């Protein structure tokens, strides 16, 4: 089974304006949507489109948390969230106008006893399960939370996938994650130098591999992606043609496609191909990738 973790899920209230946003005045919306998300939840959503069941773990609180749970269930996603005793699952306001403006909620504090309950759930994972950890850590949790999770899972045979940046990613490398997915900017930050071409990116990826990562998937936006697999083989792929509408969730979609592609084929080349199609399908859409759009783009790769 695949498990995803979203520490701070959100309901995104997306408001569209036909005119520039006027500060200090009444602005009337031309349209609005509510999108349920968070990086781990996005991964679970795209996995469902690909026919791969998963369980979304994490924390919810208050009436907004109950709303998020009901909404995900209506989408056919399986969840096993922990319910926090106080606070509320955050609402993020996304204003789409001449310029985009975002107001992101803080979300509820996660007390130590809630984290202990999550650790207990994670320690019940079985050999062969996949655990996806994506995104940043809420301020109420220790900065080494990902490291603590991987340390607890050592020896369990669980394959871990980590999409994070900076020290958060660097700390998990000694625990041998199955897959890490930095983008090229994050990889350059870890390398401490510019990465002007594929050779430089490959060298930086090999450095992370030497520190413990099995597979390193580097996303490069419109320039495609590069994968250094656990056998040391470098795979390079471009992107299909299309207009980028919204890049939010594209990296999560690539991660979901890669995991599903590898489980279905056992081939890293096929995993990279499906991951690229999924990431592009989300980037070319208003929401997350649909199976129909993924299959259409696969034909171009």
Residue with tokens 């749970």: 69
Closest CA to 126 of 98, 170, 81, 158: 158
User: Strand pairing partners for 10?
Assistant: 37, 90
Asked whether the beta carbons of 100 and 246 are under 8 A apart, the reply is no
For residue 80, indicate whether it is catalytic: no
| Catalytic residue chosen out of the listed positions 12, 129, 229, 252 | 252
Contacts of 114-122 spanning 24+ positions with Cβ under 8 A: 114/59, 114/82, 114/84, 115/141, 115/145, 117/82, 118/5, 118/57, 118/59, 118/82, 119/148, 119/149, 119/152, 121/57, 121/80, 121/82, 122/3, 122/5, 122/57, 122/149, 122/152, 122/153
Strand order in the sheet with 31-37: 31-37, 10-16, 90-96, 100-103
Do residues 149 and 119 touch, judged by C-beta distance below 8 A? Answer: yes
- The Cα-based distances of 106 to 10, 41, 60, 74, 156 in angstroms read 10, 18, 13, 26, 34
Which residue, among 250, 248, 236, has the nearest Cα to 279 in the 3D structure? 250
**What is the number of residues in the chain?**
301
Nearest-angstrom CA–CA distance, 71 and 296: 27
Distance separating alpha carbons of residues 47 and 170, to the nearest angstrom? 26
Largest Cα span, the chain: 59
The catalytic residues are 252
């Amino acid at each position: 089974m695949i498990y995803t973790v979203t520490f701070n899920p959100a309901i995104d209230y997306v408001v569209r304006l036909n005119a520039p946003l006027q500060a200090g005045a009444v602005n009337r919306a031309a349209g609005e949507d509510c999108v349920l998300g968070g990086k781990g939840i996005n991964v679970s959503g795209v996995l469902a489109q690909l026919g791969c069941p998963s369980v979304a773990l994490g924390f919810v609180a208050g009436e907004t948390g109950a709303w998020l749970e009901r909404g995900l269930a209506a989408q056919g996603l399986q969840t096993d969230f922990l319910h926090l005793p106080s606070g509320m699952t955050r609402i993020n306001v996304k204003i789409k106008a001449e310029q985009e403006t975002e107001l992101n909620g803080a979300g509820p504090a996660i007390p130590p006893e809630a984290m202990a309950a999550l650790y207990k759930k994670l320690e019940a994972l079985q050999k062969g399960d996949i655990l996806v950890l994506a995104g940043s850590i809420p301020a109420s949790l220790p900065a080494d939370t990902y490291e603590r999770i991987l340390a607890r899972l050592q020896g369990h045979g669980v394959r871990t996938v980590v999409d994070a940046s900076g020290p958060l990613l660097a700390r998990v490398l000694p625990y041998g994650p199955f897959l890490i997915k930095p983008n090229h900017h994050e990889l350059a930050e870890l390398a401490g130098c510019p990465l002007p071409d594929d050779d430089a990116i490959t060298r930086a990826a090999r450095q992370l591999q030497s520190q413990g990562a099995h597979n390193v998937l580097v996303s490069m936006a419109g320039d495609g992606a590069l994968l250094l697999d656990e056998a040391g083989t470098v795979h390079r792929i471009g992107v299909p043609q299309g207009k980028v509408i919204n890049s939010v969730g594209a990296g999560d979609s690539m991660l979901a496609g890669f995991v599903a592609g590898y489980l279905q084929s056992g081939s890293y080349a096929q995993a990279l191909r499906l991951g690229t199609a999924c990431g592009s399908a989300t980037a070319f859409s208003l929401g997350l990738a649909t199976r129909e759009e993924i299959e259409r783009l696969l034909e171009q790769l």
